[in-house]
Amino acid sequence: GAGVSQSPRYKVAKRGQDVALRCDPISGHVSLFWYQQALGQGPEFLTYFQNEAQLDKSGLPSDRFFAERPEGSVSTLKIQRTQQEDSAVYLCASSLAPGGTTEAFFGQGTRLTVV
């Protein structure tokens, strides 16, 4: 595809429900980042993949958050037992080179609302 694609665009989950958010990066991009963006805030780092390797997961707020990129392309962010404070926009970004050294292209995000 032409850009980074995320699905679903919107997700409403009942508290305690598990959710899975998908990211399709630009083909050939080595780096993939997940960010959490609360209303009126800047993106907050969650985790980083270089190809299939999850090199940095220091931003994941709890062990309820899990991310994977098994074949070095599509990535899934899973949140177990969702809580109201998980409500936010989840942004995925990919870049051609390893790490934060070249432009990151963002997806449109998934807006998660936990009720």
Partner 1 sequence: GENVEQHPSTLSVQEGDSAVIKCTYSDSASNYFPWYKQELGKRPQLIIDIRSNVGEKKDQRIAVTLNKTAKHFSLHITETQPEDSAVYFCAATPRNNYGQNFVFGPGTRLSVLP
Residues of this chain that interact with partner 1 (CB under 8 A) are 4, 33, 35, 40-45, 48, 50, 55-56, 58, 91, 93, 98-109
- What's the min distance (Å) between Cβ of 16 and partner 1? 28
Q: How many CB atoms sit inside 10 A of residue 49's CB?
A: 23
Closer of 25 and 43 to partner 1 (Cβ): 43
Report the distance separating Cα 17 and Cα 82, nearest Å: 6
- What's the min distance (Å) between Cβ of 111 and partner 1? 9
Closer of 25 and 107 to partner 1 (Cβ): 107
DSSP strand pairing (10-13 vs 110-114):
parallel
- The DSSP secondary-structure symbol of 58 reads T
